[in-house]
C-alpha cells in the first residue's frame, strides 16, 4: 500500500520488534546470591554504574552528587540542607506525593543563599540520556519495625526509582510480591524515606520476571489492612503484575532476557519519563509493552507520513487491533497526549461513539489527566474548541463532528494539521459520516482502535465495495494484540460457557422456512420465558458467586452481578415483568433494571455488529416508550432518583445506571443492544444470553464479563439459552486464531473434576486431589513436621482454586466429596498454618519463600455470624450438652477469617447461656455491653479523647473501615510532643493497632 520507501523505521523503539531469547538462561544460577551478582554484572555491562551503598548517609550523599552533575550546579551545604528537607525528603510527603514529584513536578525550585531562585531537575524528561543510572544492592534499613536488607535497586540521578526483588529458582513469584509488601509495611518509610520514591517494582525468580507500579503495591497493602480511605480500582493484587514482551507479544520472562530488553537504558528511561500515567485518582499506571508499541507505531506513522507529505491520504494513518478489555483508552490517551506535543501538530481529535461521550471516555481521560481533554455537549461548543488554539486534545462524537462539517463547509480548521483517532472503529465509522469527515479535512492523519476489526471475510458494506474493511477505511494494521494474547498474559479472563437447551425441535418439520417461523414463535413463548427466568433465579447465586466475599473500594461485597442480553424490546418487556412476578412469588430480593432505546435493527445483522442504540427515545413506538417509563419509575422508587425517558433525563438515567452496575448495586440488567459494547464493569461476571450473536457482536458482548478483578473472579461466565456453539467457535477463530478456543474457553466440568491428559502429561482433577488429601492428611488428625505442612498448603491451595472454578457448574452440587464439617476443618488448618508461617517470616525471610496462600479464595468461603448463631441455637436446644455441635461451632470459627477475631466474644457468650437464654436477643445485648466495656477500657488505657473517639468509631462502623490517615485519627490521640520523633509514631501505631483489633472484633455483627 505504501507509495514511498522507508529507509529506517523506529530506530528508537522502546519495545523491541522481535526478541530472540539468549541461550544463556538464568536457571544456571541456582542460588539467590549468584542470580543477584549476574544481574548486577549485566546491568554494569549495559552502562549502569555499580555502587557499594549500604546505608542512608551514603545514599543521600550520592543523591546530592548526582543532582549536581545533572543540573550542572554545586549546592552549598545550607542550600542542600534546605532543598533536601523541603523538596526531596519533606516529612509531610508520602508515596503519592513523591510519585507526583517524579511524574508531574520533576522540576523543583531551589532558594539559593543569595535569595534568587533556580530550577533543579530531579529527572530530565526531554533529553532522557542525560539521566544517570546506578545500581546498588543489599541496602540495609535499620530504622523500621524490623531491620530489612533490600536486594537490588536502580538509582536514577541518585533517587531509587526501581526496586528489584529476587527469589531463588523454583520459589513462587507471588512470594517476591509479598516480600515487597512486607518491606512497605516495615521499612520503606523509615530513615530518609527515599525508598518511597520507587516508581516501578520488578519481581523475579530467574525463570519468570514481572513488573508493576508502586501504587499497585501501595493499594494492595492498604486493602489488606483495611486502612485506606478509598481503595483504588481493584488493580492492587498480584493479578495486576505484568510480563514484558516484544512488539509481537512474545513474553520475555527469563531474567537474563528481561534485563537485556526492559533494563536497556533507552527502554527503562522511556518507560519512566513517557509511558507512566499518574491519574487524577493518584494511581500510577505503567503502560504494558503492547500499549507502548502501538503508541510508538502511531507516532512513527505521523512523523514519516509528514516527512513524505502524505497527510490527508490513507497512507498517513492506520489501525490498532487491541482486544476488548486490554486498555485501549489508556493507549489512545497516551497517543493523543504525545501527538499533541509534536511541534507540527495543531490538534488531536478523539472520536467516540455517541453514548460514550461526556461519560466513560471523558471520565477516563479526566482520570488520566484532569482537564487534558475537552468534552462538548453540543456542536457549538465543539466549534469553539476547534477554533481555540489552546484546546490541544478534543474528545467528541462522530455525530457532532459530522454536524460541524455539514454546518461549516469552508472552515479554516480543515486546513490545520490534525490527528483524528477513532475509538471502536468497527462501528458507525463505515458510513457516510466517515466519508464526509475524511473528505472535508485536508491535512490529517486518521487512526482507528478496535477490538474486532472488519476483514474481507466478514465485511458486509456491499453498497460501497471500496469501503468494506477496517484496512480500507483506516489504512495499514499497525499493531495487533488479540484475545489470545490478552488471556495468555493474564490481562483478561477466559470464558466459561453453558448451553442451556430451551427448545426441543419437532422431527417432522422438513421445510426450513416453516421451521424458522416455528422456532421464532417458540423463542417468544411465555412458557419458555417463564422457564428461563426460573433457571436464572434458581442459579443466580451460584453463577454470580453470591456466597463469595471480597473487598471493593473499601466495601465488603458478596459475589458479582450480571447482564441479560435479549433479542428485542418486546422480549425485554416480557422478561422484566416475569422477573418481577417470580421474585415476588419466591420472596427473593434481587435488583432488576432494564434499558433500551431505538435501534434500526434489534435482531442480528449479517456481519454480527450490534447496532448502536442512541438516546432518541422519541423514535420508540408508544407501547415501548410507556414500558420504558414504567421501568425507569421502578428504578426511581428503588434508588430515590428522578429520571425519565425524555432528553437529558434518559441520558442521566443511562449514566446513573452505568455507575450502579459498576458498584454492584444492580444485580441483573436486561438489555437489547445497549451496554453490550464498550461498557466496562469489573464486578460483572455473568452474561445470560437469549439473543443471536456472532462475530463482532458475540466477542464484544461476551467481553463484558472478562475484566480482571481478583482471584475469586477467575473467568467470565456465559449462559446461553440458544445454541451459539458454532458462532462462538467461528468468532474466536476469526479474532484469535483457529486453535484459540482451547485458550479462550475453559475446559469441561469432567476435565476439572476427573482430570485430563495434556501433552502426554496427566493433570489431576478434583476427585483425585481430594482422595490424595484425605489419604495423606485425614480431617481430624494433626499435621506434623514442616515438610508435611508445606505439602498440605500446596495441595489444599490447588483444591481451593479448583473448587472456585467447579462451583459455577450446575453438576458440582452434591459432588463436593467432603462434608461441610470436614471442609471447614481443612480450611481452619490452612488458616492456622498461614498464621504460623506469617509469624515465623517476621524472623526469617526464607521460611515462606515457596508458599503462596490463597487467602482471597479462603475469604470468599467464609461462614457468617448468622450461621454461628444458628448453631448456638441448636446447642442451646440440646441443653448445652451436644458436644458435636460445640465442636462444629469451633470448626466454623476457625474456618472463617473474619470470625477468628470474634472467637473470644462468641465463646464468652456460649459460656453464659442457660435455660432462660433467648439466643438472638441476648446475643445482641451481650455484644452491646461487651463493646461498650471494651471501648471504655481502650479510651482509658490510651488516654484517648472520649467524644472524638466515640465519633471516630461510629464513623468507622458506618464506612466499614478504620481510616488511619488524615485528620480524623489525629483528633482522637492524646497530647503527645510533635517533636518526640519515633516515640510519637510508635505510640500512634500502637493505638491504631488496638483500634483495628477492636473494629475487627465487633464489625459485621449486625448489632
279-293 confidence digits (pLDDT tens): 877 889 999 999 999
The better pLDDT of the pair 947, 307 is held by: 307
The residues, ordered by sequence, that sit 6+ positions from 104 with a Cβ below 8 Å of its Cβ are 278
Percent of the chain with pLDDT over 70: 78
Q: For residue 322, what are the domain limits?
A: 290-481
Mean pLDDT of the chain: 80
Mean pLDDT score, 927-946: 86
Element (H, E) at 583: helix 569-586
Query: Is the pLDDT reported for residue 765 higher than 80?
Result: yes
Phi then psi for 200, rounded to 5 degrees? Answer: -130, 135
The whole-number pLDDT of residue 891 equals 67
Helix H segments across 26-103? 32-45, 56-71, 77-83, 95-103
The whole-number pLDDT of residue 68 equals 97
In this structure, are residues 629 and 717 in contact, taking their beta carbons and an 8 Å threshold? no
Q: Is residue 241 part of a domain?
A: yes
The string of DSSP letters for 97-145 reads HHHHHHHT--EEEEE-TTS-EEEEESS-SSSGGGS-EEEEEEEEE-SSS
The whole-number pLDDT of residue 821 equals 77
Confidence tier at 864 by pLDDT (50, 70, 90): low
- Whether residues 365 and 400 share a domain: the answer is yes
The CA-atom distances, in angstroms, between 700 and each of 135, 423, 424, 565, 950 are 45, 14, 11, 12, 50
**Block residue for cell numbers 515462606:** 848
How many of the other CB atoms lie within 10 Å of CB of 44? 12
Point out the least confidently predicted range of 448-452, 641-645, 787-791, 879-883: 879-883
Query: Is the pLDDT reported for residue 188 higher than 60?
Result: no
Confidence tier at 106 by pLDDT (50, 70, 90): very high
Query: Is the pLDDT reported for residue 38 higher than 70?
Result: yes
The string of DSSP letters for 422-459 reads ESSTTSGGGSHHHHHHHHH-SSEEEEEEESSPPPGGG-
Parallel, antiparallel, or unpaired for β 555-558 and 549-552? antiparallel
Query: Is the pLDDT reported for residue 846 higher than 50?
Result: no
In this structure, are residues 632 and 594 in contact, taking their beta carbons and an 8 Å threshold? no
Confidence tier at 600 by pLDDT (50, 70, 90): very low
pTM: 0.73
Query: Is the pLDDT reported for residue 225 higher than 50?
Result: no
Confidence tier at 803 by pLDDT (50, 70, 90): confident
- Whether residues 820 and 923 share a domain: the answer is no
Q: What HEC string does 148-198 produce?
A: EEEEEEEEECCEEEEEEEECCCCCCHHHHHHHHHHHHHHCCCCCCCHHHHC
In this structure, are residues 847 and 837 in contact, taking their beta carbons and an 8 Å threshold? yes
- Whether residues 732 and 592 share a domain: the answer is yes
Q: Is residue 570 part of a domain?
A: yes
Mean pLDDT score, 967-973: 78
Cα–Cα distance measured from residue 572 to residue 565, given in angstroms and rounded to the nearest whole number: 9
The whole-number pLDDT of residue 607 equals 54
The whole-number pLDDT of residue 774 equals 87
In this structure, are residues 216 and 241 in contact, taking their beta carbons and an 8 Å threshold? yes
Among 458, 738, 471, which residue's Cα sits nearest to residue 609? Answer: 458
Q: Is residue 964 part of a domain?
A: yes
Query: Is the pLDDT reported for residue 610 higher than 80?
Result: no
The whole-number pLDDT of residue 854 equals 54
Query: Is the pLDDT reported for residue 913 higher than 90?
Result: no
Cα–Cα distance measured from residue 153 to residue 545, given in angstroms and rounded to the nearest whole number: 42
Point out the least confidently predicted range of 484-498, 569-583, 593-607, 799-813: 593-607
- Whether residues 132 and 267 share a domain: the answer is yes
The better pLDDT of the pair 627, 825 is held by: 627
The whole-number pLDDT of residue 245 equals 95
Mean pLDDT score, 501-516: 51
The whole-number pLDDT of residue 375 equals 63
Q: Is residue 913 part of a domain?
A: no
Mean pLDDT score, 617-629: 88
Q: Is residue 18 part of a domain?
A: no
Confidence tier at 261 by pLDDT (50, 70, 90): very high
Burial class (CB in 10 A: 0-12, 13-18, 19+), 527: exposed
> What does the block give as the cell for 12?
528508537
Confidence tier at 849 by pLDDT (50, 70, 90): very low
Confidence tier at 51 by pLDDT (50, 70, 90): very high
In this structure, are residues 144 and 190 in contact, taking their beta carbons and an 8 Å threshold? yes
The better pLDDT of the pair 378, 691 is held by: 691
> What does the block give as the cell for 755?
482430570
Mean pLDDT score, 231-239: 45
Element (H, E) at 217: helix 214-225
Mean pLDDT score, 444-451: 91
Domain boundary, last residue among 254, 286, 318: 286
The better pLDDT of the pair 615, 761 is held by: 761
- Whether residues 38 and 186 share a domain: the answer is yes
Mean pLDDT score, 798-827: 81
Question: Total structural domains in the chain?
Answer: 5
Domain boundary, last residue among 286, 303, 332: 286
Mean pLDDT score, 725-736: 82
- Whether residues 663 and 801 share a domain: the answer is no
Confidence tier at 39 by pLDDT (50, 70, 90): very high
Query: Is the pLDDT reported for residue 852 higher than 90?
Result: no
- CATH classification at residue 344: 3.40.50.300
Q: Is residue 108 part of a domain?
A: no
- Whether residues 368 and 336 share a domain: the answer is yes
Mean pLDDT score, 950-960: 78
- Whether residues 360 and 452 share a domain: the answer is yes
Q: Is residue 638 part of a domain?
A: yes
Please tell me the number of Cα atoms within 13 Å of 698 on its side-chain side.
26
- Whether residues 298 and 266 share a domain: the answer is no
- Whether residues 938 and 956 share a domain: the answer is yes
331-376 confidence digits (pLDDT tens): 988 999 899 999 999 999 988 765 544 455 666 676 666 665 666 6
The whole-number pLDDT of residue 364 equals 67
Mean pLDDT score, 909-918: 77
- Whether residues 548 and 429 share a domain: the answer is no
Cα–Cα distance measured from residue 415 to residue 612, given in angstroms and rounded to the nearest whole number: 31
In this structure, are residues 808 and 542 in contact, taking their beta carbons and an 8 Å threshold? yes
- CATH classification at residue 219: 3.90.1570.50
Query: Is the pLDDT reported for residue 53 higher than 80?
Result: yes
In this structure, are residues 864 and 802 in contact, taking their beta carbons and an 8 Å threshold? no
- Whether residues 226 and 317 share a domain: the answer is no
**Partner residues linked to 791 by β-bridges:** none
Provide the residue count of the chain. Answer: 1007
The better pLDDT of the pair 882, 1006 is held by: 882
Q: Is residue 7 part of a domain?
A: no
Percent of the chain with pLDDT over 90: 31
**Partner residues linked to 555 by β-bridges:** 552
The better pLDDT of the pair 45, 799 is held by: 45
The whole-number pLDDT of residue 291 equals 96
The better pLDDT of the pair 186, 237 is held by: 237
The better pLDDT of the pair 463, 500 is held by: 500
The residues, ordered by sequence, that sit 6+ positions from 116 with a Cβ below 8 Å of its Cβ are none
How many of the other CB atoms lie within 10 Å of CB of 300? 17
Amino acid at each position: 500500500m505504501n507509495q514511498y520507501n522507508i529507509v529506517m523505521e523506529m530506530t528508537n523503539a522502546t519495545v523491541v520488534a522481535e526478541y530472540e531469547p539468549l541461550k544463556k538462561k538464568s536457571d544456571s544460577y541456582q542460588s539467590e546470591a549468584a542470580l543477584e551478582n549476574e544481574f548486577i554484572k549485566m546491568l554494569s555491562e549495559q552502562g549502569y554504574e555499580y555502587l557499594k551503598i549500604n546505608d542512608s548517609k551514603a545514599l543521600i550523599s550520592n543523591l546530592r552528587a548526582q543532582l549536581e552533575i545533572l543540573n550542572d550546579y554545586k549546592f552549598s551545604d545550607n542550600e542542600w540542607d534546605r532543598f533536601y528537607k523541603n523538596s526531596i525528603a519533606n516529612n509531610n510527603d508520602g508515596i503519592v506525593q513523591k510519585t507526583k514529584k517524579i511524574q508531574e513536578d520533576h522540576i523543583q525550585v531551589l532558594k539559593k543563599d543569595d535569595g534568587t531562585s533556580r530550577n533543579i531537575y530531579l529527572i530530565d524528561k526531554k533529553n532522557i540520556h542525560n539521566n544517570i543510572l546506578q545500581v546498588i544492592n543489599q541496602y540495609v534499613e535499620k530504622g523500621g519495625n524490623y531491620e530489612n536488607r533490600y536486594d537490588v535497586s536502580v538509582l536514577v540521578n541518585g533517587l531509587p526509582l526501581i526496586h528489584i526483588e529476587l527469589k531463588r529458582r523454583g520459589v513462587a513469584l507471588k512470594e517476591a510480591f509479598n516480600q515487597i509488601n512486607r518491606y512497605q509495611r516495615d521499612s520503606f518509610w523509615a530513615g530518609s524515606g527515599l525508598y518511597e520514591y520507587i516508581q516501578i517494582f520488578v519481581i523475579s525468580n530467574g525463570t519468570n520476571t514481572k513488573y508493576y507500579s508502586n501504587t499497585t503495591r501501595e493499594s494492595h497493602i492498604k486493602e489488606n489492612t483495611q486502612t485506606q480511605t478509598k481503595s483504588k480500582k481493584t488493580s492492587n493484587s498480584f493479578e495486576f503484575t505484568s510480563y514484558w514482551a516484544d512488539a509481537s507479544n512474545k513474553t520475555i520472562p527469563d531474567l537474563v532476557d528481561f534485563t537485556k530488553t526492559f533494563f536497556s537504558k533507552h527502554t527503562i528511561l522511556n518507560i519512566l519519563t513517557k509511558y507512566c500515567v499518574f491519574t487524577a485518582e493518584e494511581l500510577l499506571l505503567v503502560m504494558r509493552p503492547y500499549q507502548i508499541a502501538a503508541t510508538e507505531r502511531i507516532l512513527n506513522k505521523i512523523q514519516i507520513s509528514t516527512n513524505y507529505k502524505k497527510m490527508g491520504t490513507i497512507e498517513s494513518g492506520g489501525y490498532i487491533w487491541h482486544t476488548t478489555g486490554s486498555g485501549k483508552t489508556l493507549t489512545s490517551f497516551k497517543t493523543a497526549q504525545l501527538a499533541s506535543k509534536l511541534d507540527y501538530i495543531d490538534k488531536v481529535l478523539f472520536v467516540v461513539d455517541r453514548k460514550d461521550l461526556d461519560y466513560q471516555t471523558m471520565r477516563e481521560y479526566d482520570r488520566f489527566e484532569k482537564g487534558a481533554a475537552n468534552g462538548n455537549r453540543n456542536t457549538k461548543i465543539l466549534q469553539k474548541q476547534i477554533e481555540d488554539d489552546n484546546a490541544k486534545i478534543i474528545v467528541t462524537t462522530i455525530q457532532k463532528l459530522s454536524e460541524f462539517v455539514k454546518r461549516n463547509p469552508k472552515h479554516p480548521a480543515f486546513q490545520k494539521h490534525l490527528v483524528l483517532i477513532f475509538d471502536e472503529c468497527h462501528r458507525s465509522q463505515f458510513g457516510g459520516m466517515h466519508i464526509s469527515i475524511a473528505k472535508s479535512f485536508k491535512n490529517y492523519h486518521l487512526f482507528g482502535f478496535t477490538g474486532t476489526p472488519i476483514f474481507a471475510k466478514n465485511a458486509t458494506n456491499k453498497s460501497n465495495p471500496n469501503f468494506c474493511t477496517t484496512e480500507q477505511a483506516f489504512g495499514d494494521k499497525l499493531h495487533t494484540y488479540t484475545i489470545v494474547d490478552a488471556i495468555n498474559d493474564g490481562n483478561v479472563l477466559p470464558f466459561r460457557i453453558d448451553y442451556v437447551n430451551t427448545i426441543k425441535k419437532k422431527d417432522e418439520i422438513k421445510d426450513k422456512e416453516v421451521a424458522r417461523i416455528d422456532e421464532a414463535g417458540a423463542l417468544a413463548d411465555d412458557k419458555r420465558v417463564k422457564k428461563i427466568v426460573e433457571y436464572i433465579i434458581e442459579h443466580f447465586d451460584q453463577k454470580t458467586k453470591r456466597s463469595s466475599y471480597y473487598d471493593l473500594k473499601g466495601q465488603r461485597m458478596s459475589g458479582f452481578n450480571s447482564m441479560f442480553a435479549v433479542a428485542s424490546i418486546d422480549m425485554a418487556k416480557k422478561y422484566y415483568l416475569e422477573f418481577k412476578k417470580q421474585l415476588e412469588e419466591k420472596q427473593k430480593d434481587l435488583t432488576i433494571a432494564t434499558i433500551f432505546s431505538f435501534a434500526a435493527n434489534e435482531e442480528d445483522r449479517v456481519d454480527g455488529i450490534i447496532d448502536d442504540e442512541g438516546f432518541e427515545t422519541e423514535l420508540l413506538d408508544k407501547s415501548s416508550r410507556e414500558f420504558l417509563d414504567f421501568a425507569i419509575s421502578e428504578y426511581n422508587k428503588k434508588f430515590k432518583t428522578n429520571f425519565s425517558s425524555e432528553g437529558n433525563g434518559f441520558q442521566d438515567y443511562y449514566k446513573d445506571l452505568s455507575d450502579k452496575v459498576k458498584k454492584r448495586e444492580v444485580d441483573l440488567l436486561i438489555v437489547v443492544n445497549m451496554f453490550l459494547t464498550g461498557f466496562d464493569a469489573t464486578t460483572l461476571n455473568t452474561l445470560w444470553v437469549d439473543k443471536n450473536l456472532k462475530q463482532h457482536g458475540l466477542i464484544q458482548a461476551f467481553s463484558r464479563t472478562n475484566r480482571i478483578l481478583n482471584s475469586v473472579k477467575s473467568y467470565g461466565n456465559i449462559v446461553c439459552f440458544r445454541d451459539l456453539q458454532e458462532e462462538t467457535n467461528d468468532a474466536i477463530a476469526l479474532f484469535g486464531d483457529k486453535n484459540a478456543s482451547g485458550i479462550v474457553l475453559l475446559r469441561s466440568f469432567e476435565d476439572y473434576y476427573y482430570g485430563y491428559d495434556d501433552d502426554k502429561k496427566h493433570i489431576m482433577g478434583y476427585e483425585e486431589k481430594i482422595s490424595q488429601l484425605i489419604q495423606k492428611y485425614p480431617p481430624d488428625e494433626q499435621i506434623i513436621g514442616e515438610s508435611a505442612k508445606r505439602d498440605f498448603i500446596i495441595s489444599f491451595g490447588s483444591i481451593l482454586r479448583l473448587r472456585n472454578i467447579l462451583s459455577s457448574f450446575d453438576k458440582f452440587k452434591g459432588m463436593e466429596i467432603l462434608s461441610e464439617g470436614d471442609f471447614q476443618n481443612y480450611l481452619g488448618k490452612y488458616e492456622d498454618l498461614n498464621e504460623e508461617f506469617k509469624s515465623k517470616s517476621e524472623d526469617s525471610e526464607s521460611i515462606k519463600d515457596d508458599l503462596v496462600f490463597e487467602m482471597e479464595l479462603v475469604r470468599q468461603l467464609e461462614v457468617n455470624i448468622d450461621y454461628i448463631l444458628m448453631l448456638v441455637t441448636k446447642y442451646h436446644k440440646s441443653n448445652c450438652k451436644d458436644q458435636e455441635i460445640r465442636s462444629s461451632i469451633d470448626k466454623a470459627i476457625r474456618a472463617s477469617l473474619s470470625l477468628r477475631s470474634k472467637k473470644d466474644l462468641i465463646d464468652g457468650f456460649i459460656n453464659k447461656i442457660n435455660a432462660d437464654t433467648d439466643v438472638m436477643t441476648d446475643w445482641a445485648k451481650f455484644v452491646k455491653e461487651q463493646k461498650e466495656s471494651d471501648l471504655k477500657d481502650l479510651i482509658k488505657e490510651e488516654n484517648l479523647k472520649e467524644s472524638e473517639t466515640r465519633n471516630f468509631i461510629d464513623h468507622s462502623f458506618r464506612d466499614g473501615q478504620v481510616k488511619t490517615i488524615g485528620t480524623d485519627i489525629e483528633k482522637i490521640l492524646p497530647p503527645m510532643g510533635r517533636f518526640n520523633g519515633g516515640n510519637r509514631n510508635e505510640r500512634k501505631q500502637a493505638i491504631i493497632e488496638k483500634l483495628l483489633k477492636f473494629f475487627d472484633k465487633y464489625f459485621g455483627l449486625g448489632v
